[in-house]
Amino acid sequence: MKALQFPGSREVFIKEFPDPKPGKDEVVIRMKASGICGSDLNYLYRIPKEEKDKYVLGVWVSSTVIPGHEPCGIVEEVGENVTHLKKGDRVIVYHISGCGVCKSCREGYYMHCKNKKTYGFDINGSFADFMVAKEKDCVLLPDELSFEEGCYYACGAGTAFKACKRLNISGLDTVSIFGLGPVGLAAVMFAKKFGGKVIAVDPIDVRRDIAKNIGADYVINPLEEDVVREIKKITDGEGTSVSIECSSNPTARSQILDSTKIWGKVAYVGEGKTVTIDVSNQIIHKHLTIFGSWVYTIPELMDLLNFAAKEKLNLPALITHQFTLDEAEEALKLADSGKSGKIVFKWD
Ligand SMILES: [Zn+2]
Ligand SMILES: [Zn+2]
């Protein structure tokens, strides 16, 4: 089979691997769609060659593991002990594989498991014609959803869903979303679906246009406008009741506190970098509730897929580009530029 390799320093190439065989409790999946995620860029693609093959922010940054952690495809072969899946099933792989027996795993929070493995980081992932996954990490894809939608829900859109759900967004809320990459754009879609009035912030024109297309009520270019002043203007001087930070930009991370109203709620989702905050003025005296939100659980993915299938969410409008593995160089360059919506690799 063919698979991608990210040796670092923005290089990508295709390598031939033997077709994988399923072990006990495992299935082999014929890949149909696999999304490019911000973490692929930050931890695997952009990182200099000399900084690879070590832990960065707790993530194993490999130069030889097959990348890709938004897998969606068809079960090709099942291994010994597999009871719930059969050849031909359409599945998504939840990208974090917990041990299954520790307290965190039993609570559903595989990401907190001390012995977890992450597909595309510690173990081979989905930028390949086939991948091996544990049966317990697979979730059936409803017939109503395409493989492209499935791979987007597998990490980026699922992460946005979790943050929006925890914020209890309703028709009473004005919601700011800073950073309109694939996670931020999906957050715009969910915030609108839950009834919020959405203000979307990003310096890249294409991204603001996509946000507008899926219903953002206002868009702001932070390079041209004073973001805090504009948000205050839109919200009668109060600020937003709910805010989601998906950019990880230090300025945005601070501005989002200043543009959230007294008693408002802020979710930090975008990863990397650091920020300096005036805790008294920006948080305490405003009675803000702030939390970090990191991916989601398998039961939440199941709820989300059910919801998406019934509500016919317009996620396809956010998927702007599809490439084959052979076109990886072009796909990664585009993703790196940020001038797109969601980018996915597609197989026939
Ligand atoms: Zn991801
Ligand atoms: Zn565990």
Band of residue 110 on the pLDDT scale cut at 50, 70, 90 = very high
**φ/ψ of residue 63, rounded to 5:** -100, -5
pLDDT tier, 342 (very low <50, low <70, confident <90, very high otherwise): very high
Tokens of 311: 């509500």
Model confidence pLDDT, tens digit, residues 277-293: 999 999 999 999 999 99
Q: Looking at the CA of 68, which ligand is closest?
A: 1
CA-CA distance, 40 to 332, in Å (whole number)? Answer: 10
- pLDDT tens-digit map of 221-264: 999 999 999 999 999 999 999 999 999 999 999 999 999 999 99
Residue 38 Cα to ligand 2 middle (Å):
25
pLDDT in tens, 132-189: 999 999 999 999 999 999 999 999 999 999 999 999 999 999 999 999 999 999 999 9
Question: What pLDDT, on a 0 to 100 scale, did the predictor assign at position 343?
Answer: 98
What is the average pLDDT across 84-101? 97
Q: Classify residue 213 as exposed, middle or buried by CB count within 10 Å of its CB (0-12, 13-18, 19+).
A: middle
Structure confidence at residue 1 (pLDDT) = 98
What's phi and psi for 170, nearest 5 deg?
-140, -175
| Residues 6 or more apart in contact with residue 127 via CB below 8 angstroms | 3, 4, 34, 66, 67, 68, 120, 325, 328, 345
Dist. CA 326 → ligand 2 center (Å) = 36
Query: How many A from CA of 291 to the centre of ligand 2?
Result: 23
Report CA(134)–ligand 2 centroid distance (Å): 14
Q: Which domains does the chain have, with CATH numbers?
A: 2-155+296-346 (3.90.180.10), 159-292 (3.40.50.720)
Query: Contact at 8 Å (CB) between 40 and 331?
Result: no
Ligand 2 centroid–CA 196 distance in Å is 36
Q: How far, in Å, is the centroid of ligand 2 from the Cα of 94?
A: 14
12-26 pLDDT tens trace? 999 999 999 999 999
The whole-angstrom separation of Cα 186 and Cα 124 is 26
pLDDT at 90: 98
Q: Is 225 helix (H, G, I), strand (E, B) or coil?
A: coil
- Number of C-alpha atoms within 13 angstroms, CB side, residue 321? 20
Summarize the confidence of residues 103-131 as an average pLDDT.
96
CA atoms in the 13 A half-sphere facing the CB of 78: 16
**Ligand 2 midpoint to CA 180 (Å):** 33
> Which residues lie near ion ligand 2 (Cβ < 5 Å)?
98-99, 102, 105, 113
Q: How far is CA 123 from the centre of its chain?
A: 19
- Residue 58's pLDDT is 78
The string of pLDDT tens digits covering residues 255-271 is 999 999 999 999 999 99
Q: What's the CA-to-centroid distance between 103 and ligand 2, angstroms?
A: 7
Q: What is the mean pLDDT of residues 296-303?
A: 97
**Burial annotation 249-287 (CB, 10 A radius, 16+ → b, else e):** beebbbbbbbbbbeebbbbbbbbeeeeeeeeeebbeebe
3-state secondary structure (DSSP) of residue 133: strand
Mean pLDDT of the chain: 97
Is residue 288 within 8 A of residue 257, CB to CB? The reply is yes
Q: What is the largest CA-CA distance in the chain?
A: 62
What does the block give as tokens for 187?
A: 């957050």
Closest ligand relative to 104 C-alpha: 2
Mean pLDDT confidence for 327-338:
98
What distance in angstroms lies between residue 104's CA and the mean position of ligand 2's atoms? 6
